[in-house]
Structure 1
Amino acid sequence: MTWDTEVDVAVVGGGACGVMTALRAARDPGRVVAVFEKSAREGCNAAISSGSLAAGGTRFQEAAGIDDSPQRHADDILRASGDEEWRPVVEALCAAAPRVVEWIADTGYPIELGTDMPRAGMTALRLHTDTGRLGGARLMRHLRGLLEARDNAAFVDEAPAVGLMSDGGKVTGVVIAQNGSMQRVRAGAVVLATDGFAADQNLVERHLPHLGTPYYGGVSTSTGDALAWAERLGAQVRNMGAGLRSGLVVVDHGTRVSPALPFNGAVLVNADGERFVDEESKGYSSMAGVLQRQPGERAAMIWDAAAMAATRESEMMRESLAAGAVRDCATLDDLAACLGRTAAETERALTPLPGRRRLTAPYHLAWVTHGLLATQGGLVIDPSGRVLNGAGEPIPGLFAGGGAACGLAGPHSDGYLSGNGLLSAFGMGWIIGGGRGLSPAPARSGRRG
């Protein structure tokens, strides 16, 4: 076998999992790490996310007087997903989460606890965010900047992987397409840190036909390539019918409204003028399925000035407001006109549930529908990130995390809790990059071939 170059760790994908893996692995100055990114210009799901980091038991929670722990965090996730088989992976990720959040903060990134970010399914406030609420793009720029400062790590852009190399069942490297040619990269370990397959319409139709035709809100590079490579080596996949959905996508705009709106009194009213759900009882992923069943697969999210004041500084709300996706209704009659209902019907629909406050004019409205942001099915891994074959044994030299690995939603999209995506990506990157499995490759010869 002729190799074009050699590294100790080859990371496929430069998103949250890939960059965190590389940062951790490159702490060993004698280890050479390369991240091969398909297209930083096209982005990654972490960069278009809110950048919210879920973690239980952080110093930020302690300072705010919030009692939480990694175990409580894991139990919340498993209560929502019902996926007890995945408990060892969930507990490993939740144990890593507070260390990830505090480490990122200690690198100079401005983190605070989102005390204004309640979410369905969470028994404690545990979403951590940047102080400016500028979203995941800011976080990824910061982390990639840290990686650029490492002498023993390289971030290679516009270098999509096209396959794995193996010898006797052991993964020995990866094939990269770059500058019109194929490069064979030998590696002591290969980490699949790609996004999922939500941008591949054929794969979505095969595995998630029950979603219908949702708006797609993810990145174009989520094409599921890594799954096929690993499956050829005998890797298992699971929960392929689960996705990260959103019931907060604004019709005709593609922006989203804040998940905190229902916790500030916002209500959902369908096209028939009916209130059809307890808005606080559903996370934004499970709400997508509820909206899909409504007339026209949409509903009006209605809120007032108090709810607007509590949520408008989030990245999602800023984008929706800037896009003109929110209608202002000064009076109940104006709101009724927007809904196409009578004032009496509208007032009845706004009747608060027991213990909830009543909305008051002026009102704000956005018609929302369901969308798909990312997939949750993927490769079966163990708590250290090793990819497992059909017999439940590790495939030597192969690791996976982020969207390439099975996520935390369980078998159905309804099991997704806010923050699970970045928890899975950053957490597994932290675990893989800091694990003993990434032992240095044999001494490099310093030449090709």
Structure 2
Amino acid sequence: MQSFDVVVAGAGAAGMVAALAAADQGARVALLERDLAAPTTLSVSGGLISAAGTRWQDAAGEQDSPAQFAADVHAKSGAAVDAVLLAAVTQGAAEAVDFLADVAGLPIHLHTASRWPGHSAMRLHATPAESGAELQALLREAVARQPGILLHDGVVVTGLRPQGVLTSAGEIDADAVVLATGGFGGAPELVARYCPEAARAVHVGGRHADGAGIGWAAALGAELLCMDAYQGQPHVSPHLVEGVRPRFGAALPSLGAVLVNRLGNRFVAEDIGPSELTAHLLAQPDGVAVEVWGEAAQQAALAGGPFRRAVELGAVARCADLSALAARFGLPGAALAESLAGPDRLGRRRWEPLVAPYYAAEVTGALAHTQGGVRVDADARVLRADGSAIPNLFAAGGVACGISGRGAAGYVPGNGLAQSFALGLRAGRAAARE
């Protein structure tokens, strides 16, 4: 039987940071991943991390703080977020971004190309390409440089032991276990049970997000919170292109983008927030719409890695005028003209009629990842309903409850990685102390 100080199950965002943090404290770490070649929730994301009160914000003259971050979360998700968890994430995210830069050696900058819904300050941090794939690659390089981490690929964790884990390669003994195997967005039966309004949404998150880690912790008595919470993603192509599903990014509505259905009609205030927008889109004929934006929005959106990739794949059409746009997507011209130039009757916070040339893409509602999970304390220890900690067990990322409250409306861009990195850092350090 192999023996380590810490075993981390799952080499996604939370798992890699937990492993790096534990090894940085001198622990011998086994980082277990079932398939390093498979898409992960991190690799297909925009790679944007919410963090408040950072040195990058200071350098840009952006005033922000963990308290302001927490206030923004409350404004979106109400009182449903556990107070201890909220403090751990909003206070710990800045520390996690510092760790990524100073210990993991990642080049970090503040995203300033556009303002995103739900943020009262610019607090999204990223690596140069603003791409989840790039962020994952840089973290994997950092893991490879750390001699205290042994990364096992092709190892499937199948359960927990009193001290360690059961795997497809045999038992692994450890003083502490960090669960970072992801949420349950890839398990249709669990989505239908906990998030029925998202049951029709195509899953665009990690391939192996099957909820197993949540199940193992629950079997030991872990309390589950906000299991109906999820991140909806309404800016996703309904078509596969070269084996991938292009994503256009949640910044488009804040840049003036408009959504019209098959009848050429707008149907929602597009800037309500990306996650809750998903259900409105899925309610349209065939669950699809056409998203339309202008030249300035096109140039600003190119700062995002997923959007650039969508353009490279040919998923964005450029139309010289209204008739070309209507013909390209089979939309009624009169209704389309009124939707793009007419008065706003849906309550957008900012409305400016669109003018040619137009950029557009077909979009559908997707499920990026779930946000419900096990309850944890400030050090990411897994808790029972009575508040006691399950010995030597930690959780971060999709296994742990996020800060989105209930349903889809509470999710704010960047808050998923904020939780993954903040709790991953605290879990790794606390597990090393065990």
1:196 counterpart = 2:190 = no
Alpha-carbon distance, 1:390 to partner: 2.7
Q: Give the alignment's TM-score, normalised by structure 2.
A: 0.93
Alpha-carbon distance, 1:342 to partner: 4.6
Alpha-carbon distance, 1:346 to partner: 2.1
Question: Residue 116 of structure 1 is aligned with which of 107, 113, 116?
Answer: 113
Question: Residue 32 of structure 2 is aligned with which of 27, 33, 36?
Answer: 36
* Counterpart contact for 1:33–1:152, Cα < 8 Å: yes
Once residues 231 and 69 of structure 1 are traced to their aligned partners in structure 2, the CA distance between those partners, rounded to angstroms, is: 34
1:377 counterpart = 2:372 = yes
- How many residues align? The count is 424
Alpha-carbon distance, 1:270 to partner: 1.6
Moved more, 312-321 or 216-225: 312-321
Once residues 355 and 10 of structure 1 are traced to their aligned partners in structure 2, the CA distance between those partners, rounded to angstroms, is: 49
Question: Residue 420 of structure 1 is aligned with which of 415, 421, 430?
Answer: 415
Alpha-carbon distance, 1:212 to partner: 3.4
* Paired position in structure 2 for 1:439: 433
Alpha-carbon distance, 1:124 to partner: 0.7
Alignment of 1:122-271 (within 5 A): 122-133=119-130, 135-166=131-162, 172-178=163-169, 183-253=170-240, 254-271=245-262
* Counterpart contact for 1:44–1:195, Cα < 8 Å: no
* Paired position in structure 2 for 1:12: 9
Once residues 341 and 421 of structure 1 are traced to their aligned partners in structure 2, the CA distance between those partners, rounded to angstroms, is: 36
Question: Residue 278 of structure 2 is aligned with which of 260, 267, 288?
Answer: 288
Alpha-carbon distance, 1:87 to partner: 2.1
- The AA in structure 1 aligned to 2:56 is F
* Paired position in structure 2 for 1:73: 69
Q: State the SS of the aligned residue for 1:230.
A: helix
Change (3 A) 1:58 1:439: closer
* Counterpart contact for 2:263–2:332, Cα < 8 Å: no
Alpha-carbon distance, 1:339 to partner: 4.8
Q: CA RMSD in A?
A: 1.8
- The AA in structure 2 aligned to 1:74 is A
Alpha-carbon distance, 1:430 to partner: 1.0
* Paired position in structure 1 for 2:267: 276
Deviations 1:383-422 (A, max 9, x none): 2111111322111111111011111211111110101111
* Counterpart contact for 1:188–1:439, Cα < 8 Å: no
Once residues 221 and 122 of structure 1 are traced to their aligned partners in structure 2, the CA distance between those partners, rounded to angstroms, is: 30
* Counterpart contact for 1:174–1:185, Cα < 8 Å: yes
Change (3 A) 1:345 1:201: closer
Deviations 1:210-263 (A, max 9, x none): 223211111221111112211221111121122111111112232111222222
Moved more, 119-128 or 289-298: 289-298
1:365 counterpart = 2:360 = yes
Once residues 43 and 298 of structure 1 are traced to their aligned partners in structure 2, the CA distance between those partners, rounded to angstroms, is: 24
Deviations 1:411-449 (A, max 9, x none): 1111101011111111101111223x5435xxxxxxxxx
Alpha-carbon distance, 1:83 to partner: 3.5
Alpha-carbon distance, 1:369 to partner: 1.0
Listed as ranges, the gaps of 5+ residues in structure 2 are none
Once residues 204 and 137 of structure 1 are traced to their aligned partners in structure 2, the CA distance between those partners, rounded to angstroms, is: 25
Q: State the SS of the aligned residue for 2:385.
A: coil
Alpha-carbon distance, 1:344 to partner: 3.5
Once residues 339 and 26 of structure 1 are traced to their aligned partners in structure 2, the CA distance between those partners, rounded to angstroms, is: 53
- The AA in structure 2 aligned to 1:308 is Q
Listed as ranges, the gaps of 5+ residues in structure 1 are 167-171, 441-449
Once residues 407 and 355 of structure 1 are traced to their aligned partners in structure 2, the CA distance between those partners, rounded to angstroms, is: 29
Once residues 143 and 338 of structure 1 are traced to their aligned partners in structure 2, the CA distance between those partners, rounded to angstroms, is: 41
Q: Give the alignment's TM-score, normalised by structure 1.
A: 0.90
- The AA in structure 2 aligned to 1:157 is D
Moved more, 136-145 or 5-14: 136-145
Question: Residue 403 of structure 2 is aligned with which of 404, 408, 415?
Answer: 408
Change (3 A) 1:377 1:7: same
1:328 counterpart = 2:322 = no
Alignment of 1:336-351 (within 5 A): 336-351=326-341
Change (3 A) 1:27 1:58: same
Residue identity over aligned pairs, in percent, reads: 37
Q: State the SS of the aligned residue for 1:424.
A: helix
* Paired position in structure 2 for 1:169: none
1:47 counterpart = 2:37 = no
* Paired position in structure 2 for 1:307: 297
Alpha-carbon distance, 1:322 to partner: 2.1
Give 1 or 2 for the bigger CA radius of gyration: 1
Q: State the SS of the aligned residue for 2:311.
A: helix
Once residues 331 and 19 of structure 2 are traced to their aligned partners in structure 1, the CA distance between those partners, rounded to angstroms, is: 56
Once residues 389 and 221 of structure 2 are traced to their aligned partners in structure 1, the CA distance between those partners, rounded to angstroms, is: 10
Once residues 242 and 287 of structure 1 are traced to their aligned partners in structure 2, the CA distance between those partners, rounded to angstroms, is: 14
